């Protein structure tokens, strides 16, 4: 396997990986760990990529499976609170709308997060269906339900 083409591939799709890390991890340290695990899993399967789908679809599938793996192995104990925790201070001013959107996205189920993340990356219904394994016509139904749910969460 050649390292340079792989590194270029990661460089191009790095924003996509970081978005998935942000959706599935709460702390910066957990995001870094998840990102490293995604890169490792991509590298392990890079030599077996058969190019039967788009590279971005393959990357999404590996990254999403990596992000969901801990949840499949164990069901975390979930406690609900009335308020969201305060985000850690950052050097740049927070984008209030973006933070509200990410807070709403965190309240979605893992399957809903996966579908909306793919949609926000402008993947077609066919590509979303290929990554998630659901029927293409059901992707539209799920997206409409997710959008309605997000609108409701943002109004609260």
Q: Looking at the chain, which residues constitute the CATH 1.10.1740.10 domain(s)?
A: 1-75
Q: Percent of the chain scored above 90 by pLDDT?
A: 19
Alpha carbon distance 136, 132 (integer Å): 10
φ, ψ of residue 150 in degrees (nearest 5): -65, -45
- Across the chain, mean pLDDT equals 83
Half-sphere exposure of 56 (CA within 13 A, CB side): 15
pLDDT at 58 over 80: yes
> What's the pLDDT tens digit per position in 70-81?
655 555 455 666
What the block records as the tokens of 115 is 């579908």
Q: Looking at the chain, which residues constitute the CATH 1.10.10.10 domain(s)?
A: 95-156
Kindly report the number of other CB atoms within 10 A of residue 60's CB atom.
26
> What's the pLDDT tens digit per position in 109-129?
988 998 998 888 888 898 888
Pair 123, 131: CB distance under 8 Å: yes
pTM of the predicted model as reported, rounded to 2 decimal places? 0.56
Alpha carbon distance 71, 37 (integer Å): 15
Which CATH architecture describes the domain 1-75?
Answer: Orthogonal Bundle (1.10)
Task: Please determine, looking at this structure, whether the domain spanning 95-156 carries the CATH number 1.20.120.1730.
Answer: no
């Amino acid at each position: 396997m050649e390292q340079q083409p792989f590194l270029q591939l990661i460089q191009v799709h790095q924003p996509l990986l970081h978005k998935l890390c942000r959706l599935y991890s709460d702390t910066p340290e957990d995001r870094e760990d998840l990102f490293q695990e995604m890169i490792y899993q991509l590298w392990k399967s890079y030599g077996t990529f058969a190019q039967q789908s788009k590279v971005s679809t393959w990357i999404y599938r590996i990254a999403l499976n990596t992000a969901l793996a801990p949840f499949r192995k164990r069901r975390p104990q979930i406690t609900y609170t009335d308020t969201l925790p305060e985000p850690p201070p950052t050097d740049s001013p927070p984008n209030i709308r973006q933070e509200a959107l990410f807070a709403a996205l965190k309240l979605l189920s893992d399957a809903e997060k996966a579908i909306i993340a793919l949609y926000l990356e402008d993947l077609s219904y066919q590509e979303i269906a290929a990554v998630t394994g659901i029927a293409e016509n059901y992707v539209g139904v799920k997206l409409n339900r997710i959008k309605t749910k997000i609108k409701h969460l943002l109004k609260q």
